[in-house]
């Protein structure tokens, strides 16, 4: 899944189907399961000191937040489109960078939203400091971004290829 702007997200067909199935489960059987847990805990008595009840209510809150997140994500999704293989860094691409231009100090990652990737590939958000700095850069370009400690880091784009899953 990749952000092409702040509101549009592109997804592979597989990612779209996976997220849609998760949403359907959470809205249906997931809500029923949570309601049963809450009811069972409620029957145990005093709610003030009922850890199971509070845990179930917390789980319900997290589940409802995930439902809202998925609804928004899927409403703004563009399915089946991938970035062009132009050597320009865009969301949906696997990017290899060198730190401080050192070809021996490199890192490869997917520039995308976390829901997009499956497997061992690290994912960096296009809105992250690194993602923002390299988006739109071409292979060979250098960029600078701010680290969490406030210092600056320089990177050079070595490769940018569309993610193929």
Here the CATH number for the domain that contains residue 129 is 3.10.50.30
What rounded mean pLDDT belongs to the chain?
Answer: 83
Instruction: Show the tokens assigned to 68.
Output: 């809202």
Query: What's the mean pLDDT in 139-165?
Result: 89
Residues 37 and 59 in one domain: yes
CATH classification at residue 70? 1.10.287.180
Distance CA 3, CA 31 (A): 29
Output phi, psi for 15, to 5 deg: -65, -40
The whole model's pTM is what? 0.58
Residues 6 and 75 in one domain: yes
pLDDT band at 3 (very low <50, low <70, confident <90, very high): very low
The answer to whether residues 112 and 45 belong to one domain is: no
State which of 55, 79, 103 marks the end of a domain.
79
For residue 147, tell me if it sits in a domain. Answer: yes
Same domain? For 102 and 50 the reply is no
83/22 Cα distance (integer angstroms)? 25
Which range of residues forms the domain containing residue 61? 2-79
Domain count, the chain: 2
Assess if residue 86 is contained within a domain: no
Q: Tell me if 108 sits within 8 A of 117, measured CB to CB.
A: no
| 148 part of a folded domain | yes
Residue 18 and residue 72 in one domain:
yes
């Amino acid at each position: 899944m990749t952000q092409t702007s702040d509101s549009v997200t592109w997804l592979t067909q597989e990612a779209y189907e996976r997220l849609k199935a998760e949403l359907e489960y959470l809205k249906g059987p997931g809500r029923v399961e949570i309601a049963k847990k809450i009811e069972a805990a409620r029957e145990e008595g005093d709610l003030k000191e009922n850890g199971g009840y509070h845990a179930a209510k917390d789980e319900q809150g997290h589940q409802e937040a995930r439902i809202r997140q998925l609804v928004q994500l899927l409403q703004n999704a563009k399915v089946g489109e991938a970035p062009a293989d132009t050597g320009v860094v865009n969301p949906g691409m696997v990017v290899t960078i060198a730190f401080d231009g050192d070809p021996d100090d490199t890192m490869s990652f997917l520039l995308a939203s976390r829901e997009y990737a499956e497997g061992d590939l690290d994912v960096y958000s296009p809105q992250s400091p690194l993602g923002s700095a390299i988006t739109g850069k071409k292979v060979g370009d250098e960029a600078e971004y701010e680290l969490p400690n406030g210092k600056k880091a320089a990177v050079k784009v070595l490769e940018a290829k569309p993610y193929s899953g």
